[in-house]
Amino acid sequence: MSSTEKGKIPIYFAKAQEIKLVDRIEKTDEEWKNELSPKSYDVARKQGTELVFAGKYNNCHEDGIYECVCCHTDLFDSATKFESGTGWPSFFEPIAEENVSTKTDLSHFMVRTEPLCARCGAHLGYVFDDGPPPTGKRYCMNSVSLHLVKR
């Protein structure tokens, strides 16, 4: 690995249909607070949750790419969105495995898998094993962590 690639991570870009090595995005809490709406800040940066059935993408059927509200990394394609009936937008897989990382969340006396934007670490929601084929996964996302770029 060359010195220019050191510390970079692979991220898939849907428009270019390719993976590029990019820098992680790291900002102070104050910078995020100044750039995001209060709801997006609470959810994406402080692991909050939006109210059930309240998110603008829960009942959205527009064609496009859902990107991270914090750093605009492509996260989900609308082709993988499905009606889960849970009150949050749900997807059966991320746009690319490089773009969404996961970690174990042990809060609230539960063991859950938390998907994060791989580039900036934004909290997106939770992933469960009760989704449809072909993956059997349900990426249950917060609308305020996402931004839809329509095709």
Residues annotated catalytic, as ranges: 140
81-82 and 18-22 beta bridge pairing: unpaired
| Calpha distance 24→74 (Å, rounded) | 14
Strand intervals (E) in 14-97: 18-22, 64-68, 74-77, 81-82, 90-91
Three-state SS at 148: strand
| Calpha distance 36→86 (Å, rounded) | 26
Three-state SS at 47: coil
